[in-house]
Amino acid sequence: MSTRTALLAGATGLVGSHLLTRLLADPRYGRVTALVRRPPAVTHPDLDVRVTDFADLGADDVPAVDDVYCALGTTRKAAGSREAFRAVDQHLTVAVARHARRAGARRIALCSAIGARPGARAFYLRVKGDTEREVIGLGYDSTEVFRPSLLLGDRSEHRPAERASTAAAPLFTPLLVGPLRPCRPVSADRLAAAMITGLTAAAPGRHLHTYDDIMALSAP
C-alpha cells in the first residue's frame, strides 16, 4: 500500500505538470496535494487540488505531508518588477516550504537554476541563491536542490528568448563540455523524474543536483 504523501507547488507549470503526472503514477505515493492558483488539467482519485490565494498563504492552506516538491516560479516580465519576481520565486517558495515543514514534512525537492548563488551578479541567480539558502535553513531532514539550465518542453506561454534557445539547443549542446557541461539543456520531464527519484532515495542532509546527476537520476 502507498503510504507516502506529497505536496506539489507549481503543478500547472512546465516542470510541475510533469511532476504531477509522475507523482500520480508513482506507486510509492498515495495522496498528492497540488497547491495551485488555478486547477491543473489533470484529475485523479489520489489528487487533492487546493486552489489557494497565494498572496495570503497561511498555515491552514498547507496540509501535513511527507514530501514537498516545489517548482514555483515566474519571469521578471510576467511579474512586472524585480520585487514582484522575488515575491514569487523566493518569498512564495519559502512560505510554502516553511508551512509544510511546520506541518511535519521531512523532505523537500526544490527546482532552482544553474548558477544560483546568493552573491551572484545576475539578479535571477541571486534570487535563486537566496531561495536555496532560506529553504536549506528550514531544517528538513533531506533537502534536494536541483539546478537545471534551459528547460526543454512544450510551453503555451509565449517566451521568445526561451523558444529561440530551445530551437538552437541541438547546435550548442555538444559544445558545452568541461566546466560548461552543467549548462546543458534538460527536458522538463527528465528533471521531474530526477526530482522524484532523488527525493525518494534521499539520504539525510542537503544535496545539489546539476546536469549529470539529473541525467543519471532520470535514466530510463
State the residues that interact with ligand NAP by CB under 6 A. 10-16, 37-38, 54, 71-74, 88-89, 92, 111, 113, 148, 150-151, 162
Q: Which is nearer to ligand NAP, 72 or 145 (CB)?
A: 72
The residue type of 89 is: D
Q: Which is nearer to ligand NAP, 167 or 203 (CB)?
A: 167
CB of 136 to ligand NAP, least distance (A): 16
Report the residue closest to ligand NAP, judged by CB: 13
User: Which among 56, 4, 50, 11 has a CA at the least distance from the CA of 30?
Assistant: 4
CB of 3 to ligand NAP, least distance (A): 27
Q: Which is nearer to ligand NAP, 14 or 32 (CB)?
A: 14
Q: How many residues would you count in the chain? A: 220
Q: Which is nearer to ligand NAP, 14 or 105 (CB)?
A: 14
CB of 73 to ligand NAP, least distance (A): 3
Pairwise CA distance, residues 58 & 62, whole Å? 7
Q: Do the bridges between strand 107-111 and strand 67-70 make them parallel or antiparallel, or are there none, so unpaired?
A: parallel
CB of 150 to ligand NAP, least distance (A): 5
CB of 1 to ligand NAP, least distance (A): 30
CB of 57 to ligand NAP, least distance (A): 9
Tell me whether residue 202 is exposed, middle or buried, using C-beta atoms within 10 angstroms of its C-beta: 0 to 12, 13 to 18, 19 or more. Answer: buried
Q: Which is nearer to ligand NAP, 72 or 202 (CB)?
A: 72
Q: Which is nearer to ligand NAP, 155 or 204 (CB)?
A: 155
